[in-house]
Amino acid sequence: MGLLLDLAKQYKVLSIVGMAKNAGKTTALNYLIEEAMDDGMILGITSTGRDGETEDLVTGTEKPRVYLDNGTIVSVPSQLFDLADAGLEIVERLPYSTSIGELLLCRVQSAGYVQIAGPVAAQDTKRMCRNMFSHGAEMVVIDGAIDRKSVAAPDTSDAVILATGAVLSRSMNKVVEETAHIVNLYSLPELEEGTARTLLEANITGNVTDTVMLIDKDNNLKKLNLTTGLGASSVINDEITEDTRYVYIPGAFTNSVFSDIQNKKFKHVRFILKDPTRIFVRPIDWNILRKKGFQVSVLKNIEIAAITVNPWAPLGYTFDSDALIQEMKKVIPDIPIVDVRK
Amino acid sequence: MSEMKTATTVADLTKVKPYGDTLNDGKMELAFTLPVPYGEEAEECAKQYVKKLGFEEPNVTYYKELTPGYTFFVVYGSAQATIDYTQIKVPKVEGEVMDRVACGEWIGENIGRDITVVGASIESDAHTVGIDAIIQMKGFHGHFGLERFKNVVPYNMGSQVPCEELIAKAKEVNADAILVSQTVTQKDIHIMNLTKMVELLEAEGLRDKVILTCGGPRISHELAQELGYDAGFGPGKYAEHVMSFIMQEVKNRGWENKANIADR
């Protein structure tokens, strides 16, 4: 297929994010690893959860193992190091703590199965990617855990592979709908270049001290005494006046950020978020918000490099792979969709 | 050859099976309910079922009607499967475990300030039993809770606390650690709640600024890693286990002089 070569031209750090557990993240990872073997590319592999164990910790279902080729750079915690069947050379001890021991950066010296785990915090994952490149990795792949999406943040990775599949629902329409919702969120419009953007960027430090900020029609910026929007919807509502044009929320965007904001205020205000991974609103609430006239932009959106589908669910039902891909393509026409099990 | 004539008296750890009256007899007790009407057919059904599970000589020692159409059984049988104990590896919380008094003194000597922790049973979970066992003064099973620890400032927010509120509280009091308790695990609801918590922390940019731990009857340290937590505490773990981990982690991260979240 040559999916990997195309991706490597554009992106250095790729994360695999799942719509749900058992959506096929590890299968997608193995697919990329296989392609890298064929192309002789050196990958750096890490995981935000744990990969390569034979059985799932939660559901007890069988999980695909991960076979790594010579030269691959991989992060392995000390307690999993002994379990690896590949020959691993430790190239660096990393300062990041994981719950299962000190994290080791290893180079595979003789190909084999490896159990992988990485740092628990996305910030640390980002720093570790740099170490991987300095040890010769040409591209880094971060495998997500469960349905955690925070590694998709543009801070951490250049692009994502979205793994979706039958496990989401017994109804194919629902699978397509939920996947499309995430795709829509990830491709939200970025705040256009202009005074508002310049103003915000000058005032965002990227630290936890960043506050909720308002910009009015005369481009006056006001910092609220709020380092989070969580639970602060009534305060934010009180601060929004007729002249307010933009509201910047520094962290997560949940129902508790907007629930007390009056409907008429949605009409003339645009919410600005850091990136789409900050949104924690169910599709149904999201659509209601949109109907109320809610407008939102992000500072940076997320590039979806490809979507992988797994037509098989561990609960025992399957969809026809071609039909599923066809339905997906109808709503998501611009992104390559592949069944990695084929 | 003489030792071959008597039964083994030393357990072979590469082939472990249950112990009943004698070593390796494999005897196990099973208790379960079948949706069948009470009677001799029910007894036979239970016997056959246990046999199908791979047990030999199933014996129904007790059975009782729960309600029409349902019968409860206690069955004994001899298990045949064996496990190689020497090959088992379980990830564990690293570091030394100290008792309550030693923890307090250790913090005084090594951290030089109070350690603040915020705990709650989050989202849909209405059970305070777990978080109370760890935080509340009276503790659990003779192990006092964090409220009795010196140099520890704990906040117990109770149950059904939305993730948002727990995070806001942690920010407000500059918590070093967040303790999340999950007791209910039906349909893997604990996984959903715990994931939501860690994802929100990431979105708020706080994940690497607090020590995030979880606990509950179905939580293991291994699962904590999978979920993106720093540590997980299952059954048999008390306040001193949790605090020993947190205080050593505070030191490892060099947060002795960083009581404020913004400085970390």
Please write the tens of the pLDDT for every residue from B224-256.
Answer: 888 889 999 999 999 999 999 999 999 989 999
Taking contacts as CB-CB distances below 8 angstroms, the residues of chain B near A23 are: none
Mean pLDDT (whole number) for B44-69: 95
- Is the CB of B216 inside 8 Å of chain A's CB atoms? no
* Whether B203 contacts chain A with CB within 8 A: yes
Whole-number pLDDT of residue B1: 44
Query: Is B89 part of a structural domain of the chain?
Result: no
> Which residue from A minimizes the CA distance to B185?
A58
Residues B70 and B117 in one domain: no
pLDDT, chain A, mean: 89
In 3D space, the residue among A32, A118, A24, A102 whose CA is nearest the CA of residue A69 turns out to be A32
B263 touches A: beta carbon within 8 Å: no
B134 and B205, same domain (yes or no): yes
Q: Which residue of A has its CA nearest to B210?
A: A121
Domain parsing of chain A, residue ranges: 3-187+302-339, 195-298
Residue B45 CA to residue B24 CA, distance in Å, equals: 27
Which chain B residues are within 8 Å of A128, Cβ to Cβ? Answer: none
With beta carbons under 8 A apart, name residues in chain B contacting A315: none
For B221, nearest residue in chain A (alpha carbons): A99
**pLDDT tens-place string over residues B151-184:** 999 999 999 999 999 999 999 999 999 999 999 9
Counting the structural domains of chain B, the total is 2
Matching CATH number, A3-187+302-339, of 3.60.21, 3.30.930, 1.25.40, 3.40.50: 3.40.50
B12 has a chain A CB within 8 A of its CB: no
Q: Which residue has the higher pLDDT, A63 or A38?
A: A38
Q: For an interface test with B, which of A48, A120, A157 has the most B Cβ atoms less than 10 Å from its Cβ?
A: A120
Characterize the bridge pairing of strands A139-143 and A43-47.
parallel
Helix (H) or strand (E) holding A313: none
Q: Which residues of A touch B162 (CB under 8 A)?
A: 256
Instruction: Report CA torsion sign: A17, A153, B191, B222.
Output: positive
Confidence of residue A49 (pLDDT cuts 50, 70, 90): confident
CA B152 to chain centre: 23
Q: Do B128 and B191 sit in the same domain of this protein?
A: yes
Asked if A209's CB is within 8 angstroms of B167's CB, the reply is no
SS3 B122: strand
The pLDDT of residue B2 is 46
Average pLDDT over residues B213-217: 95
The pLDDT value recorded for residue B22 is 87
Contact B137, B146 (CB under 8 A): no
Residue with the bigger pLDDT between B188 and A157: it is: A157
**Whole-number Å distance between alpha carbons of B6 and A82:** 38
Do B216 and B253 sit in the same domain of this protein?
yes
Is the per-residue pLDDT at A61 higher than 80? no
**Is A208 in CB contact (< 8 Å) with chain B?**
yes
CA distances from A99 to A24, A173, B211 (A): 25, 39, 11
Contacts of B203 in chain A (CB under 8 A): 150, 251-253, 277-278, 280
Beta strand segments in A136-176, E:
139-143, 159-165
Q: Which amino acid is at B174?
A: N
What is the pLDDT averaged over residues B183-207? 90
List the one residue out of B78, B89, B87 whose CA is nearest residue B18: B78
Q: Which among B138, B171, B196, B237 is annotated as catalytic?
A: B138
CATH code for the domain in which residue B33 is found: 3.30.30.60
Average pLDDT value for chain B: 91
In tens, the pLDDT along B80-92 reads: 999 999 888 777 7
B6 falls in which pLDDT band (50, 70, 90)? low
8-state DSSP, B16: B
The per-residue pLDDT for B88 is 83
| C-alpha B192: how far from chain center | 17
For helices B163-172 and B189-203, the axis angle rounded to 10 degrees is: 40
In a domain, B87, yes or no: no
* pLDDT tens sequence across A202-229: 988 878 888 999 999 999 999 998 888 8
Which residues numbered 280-299 in A keep a CB inside 8 Å of some CB on B? 280
Average pLDDT over residues B143-148: 95
pLDDT of residue A95: 86
Residue with tokens 């109770």: B158
Question: Is there a single domain that holds both residue B61 and residue B105?
Answer: no
Q: A314 CB near a chain B CB, below 8 Å?
A: no
- Average pLDDT of span B212-225: 90
Assess whether pLDDT exceeds 90 at residue A148. Answer: no
DSSP alpha helices (H): ranges in chain A? Answer: 3-10, 25-39, 78-81, 122-134, 172-186, 195-203, 233-239, 255-258, 263-268, 283-291, 321-331
Whether chain B has a CB inside 8 Å of the CB on A204: the answer is no
pLDDT at A45: 94
CA angle at residue A198 from A196 to A200, to 5 degrees? 70
Q: Is residue B211 part of a domain?
A: yes
| Nearby residues of B73 by Cβ (< 8 Å), 6 or more positions away | B30, B31, B32, B33, B34, B42, B43, B46, B60, B62, B63
- Residue A14: CB partners within 8 Å, gap ≥ 6? A7, A32, A139, A140, A141, A142, A157, A158, A159, A160, A161, A305
Please check whether residues B68 and B175 belong to one and the same domain.
no
Q: What integer pLDDT is reported at residue B4 of this predicted model?
A: 55
Q: What range defines the domain where residue B34 resides? A: 11-78
The pairing of beta strand A221-223 with beta strand A213-216: antiparallel
At B196 the pLDDT is: 92
Rounded to whole angstroms, the Cα distance separating A55 from A45 reads 20
Average the pLDDT over A7-25 and give the result. 88
Report whether pLDDT(A340) > 90.
no
Q: Tell me, what's the pLDDT at A84?
A: 87
Closest chain A residue to B194, measured at CA: A148
Partner residue opposite B168 with nearest CB, options A145, A206, A228: A228
For residue B90, the distance in angstroms to the closest alpha carbon of chain A comes to 8
Does residue A102 or residue B163 have the better pLDDT? B163
Give the pLDDT confidence score for residue A140 in this predicted structure: 95
3-class state of residue A165 by DSSP: strand
% residues pLDDT > 90 (chain B): 76
The pLDDT, as a whole number, for residue A14 is 93
d(CA B77, CA B54): 9
Q: Please report whether residue B230 resides in a domain.
A: yes
B185 and B247 together in one domain: yes
Burial of B54 by CB count in 10 Å (0-12 exposed, 13-18 middle, 19+ buried)? exposed
Does B237 qualify as catalytic in the annotation? no
Tokens 């936890």: give the residue.
A208
- Judge if B121 and B68 occupy the same domain: no
Please check whether residue B121 lies inside any domain of the structure. Answer: yes
pTM for the whole structure? 0.82
